[in-house]
Amino acid sequence: MSLNTSAKSTLSKNTKKLMVKVDDELKNILSNSKTVKQGCLDTLSSGGKKVRPALTIICGHHQNEQQLIPAAASLELLHSASLIHDDVLDYSKTRRGKPTVYAKYGYDYALKTGDFIFSSAFLTLSRCNNPKLNRILAASAFKLSLGEILQRNTAYNARQNIDLYYKKIAFKTASLFRAACLIGAYCADLGEAEVEALGDYGHNLGLAFQVFDDILDFIGDERTMGKAVASDIRDGMMTLPIFLALDELSEKSVLVNAVQNRDNSDEEILEAVVLVKQTKAIKKSRSQAKDYIGKAIASLNILKTGNIKDELTRLANLVIERNM
C-alpha cells in the first residue's frame, strides 16, 4: 500500500515522514479483526499509489498530526473498501497483478472484509472529533455508491450520453479526491477560500486521474497496471476514448458490439482496441485530462504557502506522466 517510485520522488520529506505514520496507522487498524484479518492484511500489502492520503497530508500543510494521520488513513480505508466491493461485483480475480480478496477467500469473506474496512474508515475519522470531516467523508461515500449504481445500470450499453460518463467519474473518482483535499485543508484550519480552492484542485485532479486510467486501458502496459488491457470493454464500460472514437467512426458496429457483448473473444476485443487507436480518441482524451490538470493547478494560485503549492503541482503533473 505504498506509493510507487515516481510518486515517492515527487513528495516532500515532510509528506514522506507523515505517510510512514499513516502506514503504521493502517496496519494497526486492519489488524483489529480476527475474522477478516488476513483479507485486511492482503489489502494492506497489495500495493497502490496511495494518492488520496498523500493529498490529505499535503493539503493539511503537515500540521495538526493528531487529526491529520487518522484523517489521511480514513481516506485510504474508504478507497480500499470500495475496491474490494468492486472486485466482488465484477468477480475480479486480480488487482494490481495480485489475487483479489474475493478470488482468494470467496464472496462472503470479501464482503465482510470490505464492510469491516468501510466502517473502519468512519470510526478512524471520528477520532478527529470534527463533525465537518465526518460529513465530507459521508458525502463522498454516498457519491461513490451512486457512481457505482450508475455504472452498473449503464454497463453493456453503448447508447448513452457522454454527460453520463462525466457524472460517473465525478462520483466514483473525483468525489474522493475532493474529499481528501477538503479534509486536509480543514485539519490545517485554513480559510474558506483556500479550502474551496483545494477542493476544486482535488475535483479536477480526480477527473484527470480517471480519464488517464481510461486511456491506459488502451495503451498501458499490463504488467505495470496490474490489470488486463481493454478491461473496460470486457466489462461493458463506456469510457471517454470509446465515446470519442465512436464520434469519428463512420462504421460503428464493431466497437458498439464489443461494448454490448458480454462474451467477446480475445480477437473481438483486439479488433475494438485497434479501431480506437486508429482514431484521434486517445490524443483527444489526453488533451482533456491535461485540461483538468491545468484547472487543478490554477486553483492553487490562492495558496500562501509556496512549498505546498509546488508539491501539489508536482503531484498533479505525475498523473499525466504515469505509464505514458
Domain boundaries, the chain: 5-319
What are the strands, taking DSSP E only, across the chain? 94-95, 98-99
CA distances from residue 115 to 82, 99, 151 in whole angstroms, order as listed: 9, 19, 20
Q: What is the pLDDT of residue 68?
A: 96
Given a contact cutoff of 8 angstroms between Cβ atoms, the answer to whether 323 and 224 are in contact is yes
CA distances from residue 167 to 83, 127, 146, 202 in whole angstroms, order as listed: 19, 32, 10, 16
20 pLDDT exceeds 50? yes
Determine the average pLDDT of the residues in 267-287. 95
Over residues 297-306, the pLDDT tens digits come to 999 999 988 8
Determine the average pLDDT of the residues in 149-169. 95
84 pLDDT exceeds 80? yes
96 pLDDT exceeds 50? yes
How many C-beta atoms lie closer than 10 Å to residue 22's C-beta?
25
Given a contact cutoff of 8 angstroms between Cβ atoms, the answer to whether 296 and 205 are in contact is yes
207 pLDDT exceeds 90? yes
Residue percentage of the chain with pLDDT more than 70: 93
3 pLDDT exceeds 90? no
Q: What is the pLDDT of residue 92?
A: 83
Determine the average pLDDT of the residues in 41-58. 85
Q: Which of 144, 119, 128, 132 is nearest to 69 (CA)?
A: 128
Cell matching residue 199 = 477542493
> What is the CATH superfamily name and number for domain 5-319?
Farnesyl Diphosphate Synthase (1.10.600.10)
Buried b (16+ CB within 10 A) or exposed e, 291-300: ebbebbbebb
**What's the predicted TM-score (pTM) here?**
0.93
Amino acid at 319: V
Q: Which of 42-51, 60-69, 131-140, 181-190 has the lowest mean pLDDT?
A: 42-51
